[in-house]
Structure 1
Amino acid sequence: MSAYDDLMAFQKETEALGQVMGRLGWDQETMMPRGAAPQRAEEMAALEGVLHARRTDPRIGDWLSEAHAPDEVGKAQLRLITRSYERASKVPADLAQRLAKLTSASQGIWAEARADEDVAAFLPTLKEVVALKREEGAALAAGGDVYDAMLQDYEPGASAESLSAMFAALRPRLTTLRDEVMASEQPADLDFDFDEGKQMKLTRKLAKAFGYDMSHGRVDKAVHPFSSGSGQDVRITTRTSPRDPFNCLYSTVHEVGHACYEQGISKEYLLTPLGNGVSMGVHESQSRIYENQLGRSKPFCGWLYGQMRDTFGDFGVADEDAFYRTVNKLRQGFIRTEADEVQYNLHVLLRFDLERALISGDLAVDDLEAAWNDRFASDFDFEVDKPSNGVLQDVHWSVGLFGYFATYSLGNVYAGCLNEAMRADLPNLDEALAQGDPTSATEWLNEALQRHGGLREPRATIAHACSGVDPSEERLLMYLEDKFSKF
């Protein structure tokens, strides 16, 4: 066998073990007994030790120096393996294991603190997480910017400077649009009890409509909806609320966007570095375009209104137009995942700025809740009422995902670009959506983007799907201003 063949065989086993690690995480958030948390932390740490040893195995360096890629796909494989090897080699093995153990345990501590509305119970653990992440970031940065080094785990090629410039362009126009729309009367909140079993039945129907392959996936419940896995085993979670069915339905469509990306990657890339989504920003572009530009579009809402009437009976919304406005209404809200399209990015920008300050040391963990509450009041003009609606609402910091939040807004920007290109190619898309059939859109996304996996770098992936047009926030802003100016 050649050096390239040896390297790819070794990498396949590493990728398989990584999938096992992901399955442990999925189980922890869905089915694991609460009392198993300490043992699970040990299990995660042990497996992380095995993975770190493989990712830094000296033979990888030898193989890379000798390997000759057979084609463009092979060159992309070597590029990603080189990046992973160089990054992993900068992080000491004991630090990687300590982080895996701590963040596994921290997730349970955060969940309990959130349920008890007790920030103080979580802060000591968060301090440990921040300290270890700073240590890891410093090792990765090797003298450079620590936060930029963290970003590379989620969006290779991104920088805090470039993201800050993008977000600075988004903020004023989003704020202006929000104020203009909310100055007009918004639809009333739903006043109906939606059976949670029926919600789950309808949400699985939606998942299948958007192309989710249930023979290689499943839908479960979790506190925080997420997607997990790739290739032949891609699982999603959602959550239900008897007074808010949209939480369940649109969380599902969102996670299906993630899952279909993973399921749609070329089978030739299975258990290789190319066999995963290329970045979290590109991943988020899929979940957001499924959820918003398709799922919250006027024609699809017309179809969904009929499905809800069939499922729940008369739930107090008069017609399709009223339903469309209800689905897309702007309202004051605390929760990022439940925010409307206009205000969603304002929630993300808050987190981006706070976590940068935490990592740089400009913000102490003890002052995080006050900083969150002050910034929230400034951005949204009302006060946080309880920690689960504020600093404790997201799981990300408890599991060490610093640098992740920015990719949510970046994904929205990418989705705006993809939507423009897709609609140019699919002039009859709205007619299909009105029948509850997004197949032409999901097939377009698969052909233009999903099937390629990690073949190209993130921005190049979007540009390729958009016929060479470089991604820009302008297309998202134009889409939002056009849609909501009509309300």
Structure 2
Amino acid sequence: MSTYDDLMAFQRETEALGQIAGRLGWDQETVMPRGAAEQRGEEMAAIEGVIHARRTDPRIGDWLDAAAPEDAVATANLRHIARSYRRATRVPARLAAELARTTSIAQGKWAAARAADDFAAFAPVLGRVVALKCEEAECIADGRDPYDALLDDYEPGATSATLGAMFDALRPRLIALRDRALGSDRQPPRLEGSFDPDTQMRLAERLALGFGYDLDRGRIDRAVHPFSSGSGADVRITTRTEALDPFNCLYSTIHEVGHAAYEQGIDPDYLFTPLGAGVSMGVHESQSRLYENQIGRSRAFTGWLHGEMTRAFGDTGLDADGFYGAVNRLHRGFIRTEADEVQYNLHVMLRFDLERDMIAGRLDPADLDEAWNARFQSDFGYPVDRPAHGCLQDVHWSVGLFGYFPTYTLGNVYAGCLMAALRRDLPDLDRALARGDTSPATGWLRENVQRHGGLYAPRDLIARACKAEPDEGPLLDYLKAKFGAIYGF
């Protein structure tokens, strides 16, 4: 075997252990007994200790020095392994294990605090998570902004400065579009009624299959916070149901299927290598947001979905045009995952600024609830009514995902670029979507984005697919055209 072969054989086992750790996380969110949180924390710490030891094994440095890549795949694998090795060797094993233990425990405390609307019960463990993430950031920053060091985990090459500039370009146009739509005399209807949760789940499964999710290699469960987990031949998603809001279930499912389809669509030859997972969370979000919004909320597809809803639940009280308006209706609300397309990124920007302040030491985690409520009032014009609708609504900070939130908006920007390219290449797309056939779109994405896994750097992957460098222009143009037509301006 060559030096490269030795390295990849070692890496294969490390990647497999990472998949096992991910499965423990899925179990914790779905079926684990509530009383098992402390024990699960110890289990997560133990497996993280083993993985960290492998990621910092001195042989990796020797193999990297001696390996001679013979093709683009080997070159990309070595790039990812070298990046991971540099990062892992800067983080003490003690810190890696403590982060795994603390975030596992914090996740359970967050869920209980959210259910009880009790931020004070969550604040102490949040403070501990933030302190550990700050320590980790200092270890890996290497002279950079500590927040950028954390961001690099989710979007390699991105910085808070470049993302901040993008947000500054988006914010005024989004606010202007929101205010113009909400002030319009033409307001879309609401979907009214109660919708059986089990029927919602059956329709959600139909949608998942229709968007290309392979249930022989996946499953759908219910969880407090919808998510996707795994890669290769075991990619699982969760959703949630609310009797008065079936769109929550249906579009959460489509969103998570976007993530899962990305993982299932990666070249199987890349399994258990660094290329065998999505290259970044921004690219991952581009798939989920495009599936959910540009495809799933399009006039063509909602015309088909209206018929499916009628067959499943009976008369919805809306015709196809009214249903399209209800699906895309701008509305007041507190929850990011339930926000309309125009206001969604404003929710992300709030989180981006607050988490940067916590990592920089400008915001004490104990004061997060107050800071969140003040910022929400400023950005949205009405007060937060309870913590579960405020700073306790998202799981991310409890599990240490600092630097993750801005990738949601970056994913929306990438999705805007990809949809423009997709429509350029598929002029008859709407005809297929009107039949409920998403395969032309999902097939294009599988060929141009998903199959490559981690082969290319994130921005390079989007640029190759779109034949142009990504920017926020296509997203803003899409939103203006869509909501201008709905709201009559």
TM-score tier by shorter-chain length is over 0.9
Answer whether contact 2:226 2:252 (CA < 8 A) is retained: yes
1:474 paired residue number: 473
Q: How does 1:66-465 map to 2 (within 5 A)?
A: 66-184=66-184, 185-317=186-318, 319-465=319-465
User: Which residue matches 1:483?
Assistant: 482
SS at match of 2:242: coil
* Residues 178 and 343, structure 2, Cα contact 8 Å, conserved in 1: yes
| Displacement after TM superposition at 1:365 (Å) | 1.2
Measure how far apart 1:316 and its partner are. 2.1
CA distance in 2, matches of 1:335, 1:279: 24
| TM-score normalised by the chain length of structure 1 | 0.99
How far the C-alpha of 1:337 sits from its partner, in A, is 0.2
Q: Deviations over 1:214-269 (max 9, x none)?
A: 00000000000000000000000000000000000000000000000000000110
8 A contact 1:91–1:136 mirrored in 2: yes
- Give the residue type in structure 2 aligned to 1:46: A
2:34 alignment partner AA: R
1:7 shift after superposition? 0.2
Alignment partner, residue 63 of structure 2: 63
- Provide the secondary structure at the position in 2 that maps to 1:486: helix
- SS at 1:156 equivalent: coil
Deviation, 1:191, is: 2.2
CA distance in 1, matches of 2:371, 2:124: 17
Match for 2:323: what amino acid?
Answer: F
Alignment gaps of 5+ in structure 1: none
> Would you say the 8 A contact 2:191–2:323 is kept in 1?
no
Q: TM-score, normalised by structure 2?
A: 0.99
- What's the CA shift for 1:186? 2.5
Task: Tell me the secondary structure at the aligned position of residue 236 of structure 1.
Answer: strand
Contact 2:189 2:322 in 1 (8 A): no
- The Cα of 1:366 is off from its aligned counterpart by 1.9
Indicate if the aligned counterparts of 1:221 and 1:239 stay in contact, CA closer than 8 A.
yes
1:16: how far off? 0.4
Secondary structure at 2:403's aligned position in 1? coil
Question: In the aligned structure 2, how far is the partner of 1:334 from the partner of 1:282?
Answer: 26
Q: C-alpha distance in 2, partners of 1:210/1:188?
A: 27
- 2: CA distance between counterparts of 1:265 and 1:39? 34
Cα RMSD (Å): 0.6
Determine the C-alpha separation between the residues in 1 that align with 2:188 and 2:175: 20
Per-residue CA deviations over 1:22-56 (Å, capped at 9, x if unaligned) read 00000000010111111100000000000000000
Is the 1:241–1:248 contact (alpha carbons within 8 Å) kept by the matching residues of 2?
A: yes
Maintained 8 Å contact 2:21/2:47: yes
8 Å contact kept, 2:189–2:325: no
Deviation at 1:314, TM superposition (A): 1.1
What SS does structure 2 have at the residue aligned with 1:127? helix
- The amino acid across from 1:223 in the alignment is V
Provide, for residues 378-399 of structure 1, a one-character-per-residue CA deviation record: whole Å limited to 9, x for no partner. Answer: 1111110000000100000000
- The Cα shift of 1:279 comes to 0.1
Q: Is the 8 A contact 1:192 1:316 kept in 2?
A: no
CA distance in 2, matches of 1:301, 1:314: 15
Q: Which amino acid aligns with 1:205?
A: R
Deviates more, 1:137-146 or 1:405-414: 137-146
Aligned length: 485
1:187 and 1:160 mapped to 2: Cα distance? 37
Whole-Å Cα distance in 2 between the matches of residues 265 and 308 of structure 1? 32
Q: Any idea what SS the aligned residue of 2:230 has?
A: strand
Long gaps (5+) in structure 2: none
What corresponds to 1:5 in structure 2? 5
